[in-house]
Amino acid sequence: MSERLPVLKTYKLYLGGAFPRTESGRSQVVESAGQPVAHLCRASRKDFRNAVVAARKALSGWSARSAYNRGQILYRMAEMLEGKATEFVQALAATVPGGEERARREVEAAVDRLVSFAGWADKYAQVLGCQNPVEGPYHNFSLPEPTGVVTIVAPDEPALLGLIGQLAPVLCSGNVAVVLGSEAHPLATAILGEVCATSDVPAGVVNLLTGFREELLEQFAAHRDVDAISAAGVSAEERRTLELGAAENLKRVHVLEVAAAEDWFEEARFASPELIESFVEIKTLWHPSAS
Amino acid sequence: MSSSSTTWDYAPAPESAPAEIAEAYGLFIDGEFIEALDGGSMDSIEPGTGQLLTRFAVAGQADVDAAVAAATRAQPAWAALPARERGKYLYRIARRLQERAREFAILETRDGGKPIKESRDVDIPEAAKHFFYYAGWADKLDYAFPGRRAQPVGVCAQIIPWNFPLLMAAWKLAPALACGNTVVLKPAETTPLTALRLAEVCQEVGLPQGVVNVLTGAGETGAALAAHPGVQKLAFTGSTEVGKKLAEGVAGSGKRLTLELGGKSPHIICEDASLDQAVEGIVQGIFFNQGHVCCAGSRLLVQESVQDEVVEKLAWRMQQIRVGDPLDKNTDLGAINSAGQLETIQRYLALGQEEGATLHESGQFGTLPEGGYYQRPCYFENVQPAHSIAREEIFGPVLSVMSFRTPEEAIQRANDTPYGLAAGIWTDKGSKMFELASRVRAGVVWCNTYNRFDASSPFGGYQQSGFGREGGRHGLKPYLKLTSWGAEG
Amino acid sequence: MLRRTVDRVAADARAASFRTRSIKKDAKLQGLRLVVSMTDLTTLEGKDSPGKVRGLCRKAVDPAPGIEGVPSVAAVCVYPNHVALAKQAVAGSGVQVASVATAFPSGQAPLDLRLEEVRRVVADGTDEVDMVISRGALLAGRTQQVAEEIRATKEACGSAHLKVILETGELETYDLVRRASDLAMEAGADFIKTSTGKVAPAATMGVTLVMLEAIRDHHRATGVRIGMKPAGGIKSAKEALHYLVMVKETLGDAWLSPSLFRFGASSLLNDVLIQLRRLDTGVYAAHYDVSKE
């Protein structure tokens, strides 16, 4: 009996709610122990541009949803991720050292991180906003509003937890995201599109690219229709590229300095509303008070 | 019936109290006033008269090095003071500002050209209030951001503009000092006087040497300060153009940055608004401080059904605006801050007309000293959203009048700008107010009022109006290193 | 006409801004004289006697013997019982006689009695009638009734000028003050007036500003100039000057005349005269230098 030849899945990009191939036609092969395990798209600058267009289009609808609804959708993502846990464990274990045990721990932490931010969706405004006791007959309060289109440069490791750790706070506060996933371990990013697509996440709210920083980072920084950048695991030179590109239209840049991949598991730091705070704008309203 | 004359008018009422101004001023470094190391200096011109007011030192690289070194030396001890004691220094500063308010008001008006009634009633009392407000935060920082431990950032470089010289110094210094940072402050080159007088107050209250340093000079001084590797945090208020350059300059340096930049703020008047009060709001919005206000309501959007009435009322109201000697207590619109700024404003007045808009100059001249820089209050009609005067910040008493038909159109026009600092909304209907307020992209939204400020109220922009907030609890964040309790700092 | 609303906080802020005007020297002298000429010197007490009214009229005609350039006041304002006497006492001086009527201050009498009162004071020779509106009807939303009563009163006045007292202290909101001002002007008022002086708060700068703005809009719509009379509560010369500033900057110089602006006051005149005496002599006056009567 001949050994069955496995069917290798070809992963595509997740962009505007669909799974297109990269317009460049380029792909990369993910190998594990010298064997090919998957084909992945190598996103181009044009894919990125398309992703920003999709994200911008989705922004007003997503930010206008009730906080409760956004929370429910994030929770749904957690449910779907949990359901696909085995697939993610295998995907991570295929390329990340530490085997399935470490991978399972990461997937579970990623699910929990989503649950945490699902809960933050209808609470962060109460923590980050406030009423201000101004002098005179005025009612005055400050509220957070989403910054807008956020590009996320995820760390190489932990490939899934790092990405979710950056994505969840951005989404829960009504922003939309274009993500460049882990370059070294891109498989989890590719599968995550399937989670989004089956979790009631509206098209364009999350856009996932797999590809090379060297090709895309400058564009991530410079694109004028991007409002903010979240970056983690970037080198000093990459950070400079991002901040320099951002200066031109004054994008908000938030770089997470994380010493070790293990640190991403720390909930005190990474389930904190501080991560949300970097991607909201504080709006202060004044109104007179009198009859 | 005895009928009196109908031309009753106000006599000149110049502020007559003396305020001492020296012939020349040095830099304030490490608690002492000293000459610039290379001996450079600049003239400070009084905009009300166009005459020389005083001379001040221009800080060069060596002076910047000395100031940053002094701030660096002072910082650990300042941060190590019991927080309550740090707060008490700020309370003392607030008190001294209140006690010397009249002197500060006169200096501010002579140095910058703003009407004495504004420096007296707004700038100086608000500056004192800001110190008072943040003084109280000094020992409460661990309560400001739940779950996070608050530590100072270090040495802060703060570069401030010429439109509210003392008030902007207070906005910058008070939160920075309360959080345990030390500061090198650079006031604008046309308005250095009150920052230097504030340095004197720092001496008076016994503030430890080096905690506050003041470097006068122009753009080069600011650039050298911003670029100094000993600076951990840069805070800037000024133009978007300079803000972008500073952002480029600090890219990759690890320095923290907050920017409070320009604006072209929309002022929306709905047909159901209280129109007479809305007109007051428009006037406050654009003619306060000669329109030298980053959040000035410079784009008026009036619902078409009341446009004629609003413009007519506005035109009448503008005729009451008295342009003249900034020191006259009855002056509403003082001198333009500098010859250069007057030129900029006049260039826009010409440009607006070339583009096809109709210019109306209004107001009345009161006592008008010769040689000063004066500009009547103006508004443009027949303005298209694409016109330069509808898109670019003029920073003068110039209003662009446009219209809208539906709330949807109002929002679309209001948000048609790269800026996002402030917005005004006038409507008597609560639900419409909240809808417009939540959809306009701006950091401060004044509903049925305009240009109100308070130490407890966060201020700052969306988009290219900058990032970070000043005032209130949110104003602490740029000056703190926040780490999670339980996480490694 | 569109119903106009008033934002109270902004209106009060604007009213307060007039207080920051600094009125010195000549402007002060001219202003104070103007205030005298605009004063409706008033006595509306149960204990008013012919003697008191005569004294009031004497003062109205020549408020400050010995100080140069002080004009007569605009009018004396009295109860109906004293109209004939007052008319006689000011005869030939140019000072007008104003009478409150329509069951002042409450207006709580049948309309026919109120109108009869108006006809009587007109017959006695009053030049001006200060009526009160039915605040109860207005607060209950019966604006039509209020308008009709004003119309009827205007008719009863004949050629006498009609001042309509809104009693703003009872209307409470600026929105209602504005609505009452509009309907009074539409119904034929020559002047609108804040208060009877019997209810607190009486005139304030905020409420007066709201009424001035209503007058401005009425003029804009019809071309007709309606007069304004804040009454009660204005006690100091400085405050009166601030009112003049407000009139000047809200309605313009045309309204800086007794034919279009009046102060309803009893004690204000004394403070104005003390200030005028100081400007005249350079010395602050003693409390007994100006007769309180």
Q: Is the dihedral of CA B21, B23, B27, B29 positive or negative?
A: negative
> In this predicted structure, what is the pLDDT of residue C288?
78
Q: Collapse the DSSP code of C185 into the 3-class scheme (helix H, G, I; strand E, B; otherwise coil) and give the result.
A: helix
Q: What is the ipTM of this complex?
A: 0.96
> Could B457 and A248 be called an inter-chain contact, meaning their C-beta atoms sit closer than 8 Å?
no
Which residue matches tokens 């602050």? C284
Residue A34: what pLDDT? 87
* Ranges in chain A, pLDDT < 50: none
d(CA C8, nearest CA chain A) in Å: 6
Contacts of C8 in chain A (CB under 8 A): 288, 290-291
> Domain spanning B266-455 has what CATH number?
3.40.309.10
Residue C282: per-residue pLDDT: 85
Q: What does the domain layout of chain A look like in residue ranges?
A: 27-288
Residues 6 or more apart from A83 whose CB is under 8 A from it?
none
Q: What is the pLDDT of residues B362-381, one digit of tens each?
A: 999 876 889 999 999 999 99
In angstroms, the first-to-last Cα distance of chain B is 83
Report the half-sphere exposure of C128 (CA within 13 A, side-chain side): 27
CA distance B25 to B36: 10
CA-closest candidate to residue B235, choices B206, B257, B210:
B257
Q: What is the CA radius of gyration of chain A?
A: 20
Cβ contact, residue pair C172, A288, below 8 Å? no
B99 catalytic, yes or no? no
How close C289 comes to chain A (CA, Å)? 42
Tokens of B325: 């000697």
Chains touching A (3+ CB pairs < 8 Å):
B, C
Active-site residue among B260, B270, B378, B393? B260
Q: What is the pLDDT of residues A198-225, one digit of tens each?
A: 999 999 999 999 999 999 999 999 999 9
Annotate A119-144 with DSSP letters as a single string. HHTTTHHHHH-EE---SSSEEEEEEE
- Choose the closest CB to A274 out of B459, B462, B482: B482
For chains A and C, count residue pairs whose Cβ atoms are closer than 8 Å: 15
What is the number of helices (H) and of strands (E) in chain B? 16, 22
- Given an 8 Å threshold on Cβ–Cβ distance, is B459 in contact with A145? no
Give the CATH class of C8-286. Answer: alpha beta
The pLDDT assigned to B3 comes to 43
- Residue in the structure block whose two tokens are 């950056």: A166
Contacts of C173 in chain A (CB under 8 A): 291
Distance CA(B125)–CA(B166), nearest Å, equals 10
Model pTM score: 0.96
- Parallel/antiparallel/unpaired status of strands B148-152 and B480-484: antiparallel
Q: Chain-wide mean pLDDT for chain B?
A: 96
Q: What pLDDT does B489 receive?
A: 41
d(CA C118, CA C108): 15
Weakly modelled stretches of chain C, pLDDT under 50: 1
**Set of chain C residues whose Cβ sits within 8 Å of the Cβ of A286:** none
Below-70 pLDDT ranges, chain B: 1-6, 367, 486-489
Q: Is A3 helix (H, G, I), strand (E, B) or coil?
A: coil
| CA torsion, ordered A228, A230, A231, A237, to nearest 10 deg | 20
Q: Catalytic positions of C, please?
A: 130, 193, 229
Chain A nearest-CA distance from C207, in A, is 13
Residue with tokens 């945490």: A116
Residue C189, token pair as written in the block: 């008022």
Q: Strand B444-447 vs strand B398-404: parallel, antiparallel, or unpaired? A: unpaired
User: Nearest-CA neighbor of A37 among A13, A10, A3?
Assistant: A10
B85 contact partners, CB below 8 Å, separation of at least 6: none
Torsion angles phi and psi, residue C208, rounded to 5: -65, -40
Q: Which CATH number is associated with domain B24-261+465-484?
A: 3.40.605.10
Q: Do residues B350 and B396 make contact, with C-beta atoms less than 8 angstroms apart?
A: no
- Per residue in B33-71, pLDDT (tens digit) is 999 999 899 999 999 999 999 999 999 999 999 999 999
CB distance B365 to B324 below 8 Å: yes
Cross-sheet strand order for the sheet of C128-132: C227-229, C191-193, C161-165, C128-132, C96-100, C75-78, C39-42, C263-265
- CATH 3.30.390.50 assigned to domain A27-288? The reply is no
What whole-number distance in Å separates Cα of residue A34 and Cα of residue A38?
Answer: 12
Q: Do C10 and A137 touch (CB under 8 A)?
A: no
**Packed helices A85-95 and A187-197: angle between N→C axes, nearest 10 degrees:** 160
Question: Hey, where are the domains in chain B?
Answer: 24-261+465-484, 266-455
The confidence score (pLDDT) of residue C2 equals 61
